[in-house]
Amino acid sequence: MQDRIVTVDQTDWTSPADTGALATALEDGKVLYFPQLPFVMTDAEKSFLSPTWGDGKAKNIAYDGERDQLKGAQGSAEDLARLKAMVARFRTSAVGLITSLFPHYAANLRVAQTSYRTARVEGRETSWRKDDSRLHVDAFPSRPNHGERILRVFSNVNPNGEPRVWRVGERFHDLADRLAPAISRPIPGSAAVLHALHITKSRRSEYDHYMLQMHDRMKADLAYQRDGVQTRMPFPPGATWVCFSDQTPHAAMSGQYMFEQTMHLPVAGLHQPDSSPLKVLERKLGRNLV
Ligand code: SIN
Ligand code: FE
């Protein structure tokens, strides 16, 4: 199980490591773990290590780099400008890391939201479906992605030595072997209805249906949560880690203060498209899903 996590001794956000081997590991659904790659906050920025900067409504402070907009934060205009600059700097670092490690991705990479998570993981009250302390693969009800990949970069910036503790689960192949055969096809016409009602931002493909069903069935199954193949992984402060979160079963168990950058990549932009969730599911089900 420990082989689900690959440790990379790189100390710099832009110096490329052995990228061929890392691309294979990443696309096989492993977590790339950089124990010595901190996102360094300045002394002034350390004042942002408090949950009081959140607006109390949103789960995270979120930065939309395309529009240069910060959401979910509160403070004076001056503080918000400094906060935004810090989150934007994480975005630049994370994109630099991915494009230096995987130059092949650069042309097709779509950089999405950056988030700064000040809330403590433990004790968060949510429904089982939103509970990210249950093992899951990422799939979002309102945001169909038609097979496009979800690549995420995480950095723990906890100032008190607290790790961000995850559980990392089995290979996507094995997960899909167990779950996919029992999932029935979407109800004909349902995708159009969901879209017309603005429940989804675009039409939910059959791929999105299967991924959402897998997400829900994993989270709802307490025996799987307890006994399923998994490994506990504490990511210490100063560490950065990267995975395809649509492929790698993961759960956040404890910790506080983390940055996260989401990027999207079309299946055709991968080194080995055949190991993507879309292609794995299509092979198992014997038909096209998008
Ligand atoms: C998740 O992506 O499911 C949660 C990750 C985290 O908050 O550490
Ligand atoms: Fe997740």
Binding site membership of 83 for ligand 1 (Cβ less than 6 Å): no
Let me know if domain 2-285 sits in CATH 2.60.120: yes
Q: Is it the case that residue 216 has pLDDT exceeding 70?
A: yes
Tokens of 148: 């496009």
The answer for residues whose C-beta is within 8 angstroms of residue 77's C-beta and 6 or more apart is none
The whole-number average pLDDT for the span 81-89 is 98
Among 26-30, 90-94, 119-123, 171-175, the minimum mean pLDDT is found in: 119-123
- What is the percent of the chain where pLDDT is above 90? 89
CB atoms within 10 A of CB 219: 21
Residue 115 is predicted with a pLDDT of 98
- Proximal ligand: closest to the CA of 246: 2
The alpha carbon of 86 and the centre of ligand 1 are apart by a number of angstroms equal to 20
Pocket test for ligand 1, best of 124, 132, 235 (most atoms within 8 A of CB): 132
The pLDDT > 70 percentage for the chain reads 99
Q: Which residues have a beta carbon within 5 Å of ligand 2, which is an ion?
A: 138
Q: Supply the residue whose CA is at minimum distance from atom 8 of ligand 1.
A: 252
Nearest to 212 by CA among 174, 252, 246, 243: 246
Mean pLDDT, all residues of the chain:
95
Q: Using the mean position of ligand 1's atoms as its centre, give its distance from the Cα of residue 258 in Å.
A: 9
- Domain ranges for the chain, please list them: 2-285
Kindly write down the DSSP assignment for every residue of 84-135, as one continuous string: HHHHHHHHHHHHHHHHHH-GGGGGG-EEEEEEEE-S-STT----GGG-TTS-
- What atom in ligand 1 is closest to the CA of residue 154? 8
| Residue among 245, 248, 256, 259 to mutate when testing ligand 1 (max atoms within 8 A of CB) | 245
CA dist., res. 283 & res. 290, Å (int): 13
Dist. CA 141 → ligand 2 center (Å): 13
Report the candidate in 63, 50, 58 with the shortest Cα–Cα distance to residue 92: 63
Residue 47 is given by DSSP the state G
Mean pLDDT of 180-205: 91
**Residue 1 — very low, low, confident or very high, per pLDDT cuts 50/70/90?**
low
Please report, to the nearest 10 degrees, the dihedral formed by the alpha carbons of residues 174, 169, 245, 139 taken in order.
70
Q: Is 164 in the pocket of ligand 1 (CB under 6 A)?
A: yes
Q: What is the CA radius of gyration of the chain?
A: 19
Neighbour tally for 144: CB within 10 Å: 24
- d(CA 179, ligand 1 centre) in Å: 22
Confidence grade of residue 58 (pLDDT, cut at 50, 70, 90) = confident
pLDDT of residue 2: 59
For ligand 1, say whether the CB of 131 is within 6 Å of any of its atoms: no
Cβ-proximal residues to 147 (8 Å cutoff; 6+ apart), any chain? 205, 207, 266, 267, 276, 277, 278, 289, 290
Question: DSSP letter string over 149-183?
Answer: EEEEEEEE--TTS--EEEEEE--HHHHHHHHGGGP
Q: With bands split at pLDDT 50, 70 and 90, how would you rate the model's confidence at 16?
A: confident
The reply to whether ligand 1 has any atom less than 6 angstroms from the CB of 132 is yes
pLDDT at 124: 78
Q: Could you tell me the maximum CA-CA distance found in the chain, to the nearest angstrom?
A: 56
Which structure tokens are listed for 101?
């490690």
Mean of the pLDDT values across residues 238-247?
A: 98
